[in-house]
Amino acid sequence: MIKIQLMNFREIEIFRPYDHGALEEALCHEGFPEWQVHEWLAAEMVRVAKRHEEVLALYSMDPGDGICYLLHGVLVVPKCRQQGLGRWLMGHAIGVAESKGARRLRLTTTKNKGFFFASGFAQKGNEALFELIPE
């Protein structure tokens, strides 16, 4: 029997990264090509979820045109998956974008689209969008 320790979100803090080394390693470990790793780390809003200095997850986002923000993705380290951390962190990204005036998020990655569609993104033409303020 596998024992799963439940995630205590109160122990997790979200920061701007001060060291991109661990983030680059996590992205490369997941098979992201070098250009995409650079895109994620060069974004205006990179946030890292940590517990006791340990990187658990991250997301990367750019303001796009100010109304439609570009979400490059959400990454949860393998040992922390299936505990709700990805959705929790995506909620943080949505809150940040909304507080800055965004009306929608556009997904720029093709990885893990099922996760994003299950979280409220919808395919509109050739784009995956999340409507913050439905029209």
pTM for the whole structure: 0.85
What is the residue-averaged pLDDT of the chain?
86
**11 close to 51: Cβ distance less than 8 angstroms:** yes
Dist. CA 108–CA 81, nearest whole Å: 21
pLDDT tens-digit readout, 83-132: 889 999 999 999 999 999 999 999 998 778 888 999 899 999 889 999 99
* Res. 67: pLDDT tops 90: yes
Domain edges within the chain: 9-131
Q: Which CATH superfamily is domain 9-131 in?
A: Gcn5-related N-acetyltransferase (GNAT) (3.40.630.30)
Rounded to the nearest 10°, the torsion over CA 77, 79, 84, 86 is 10
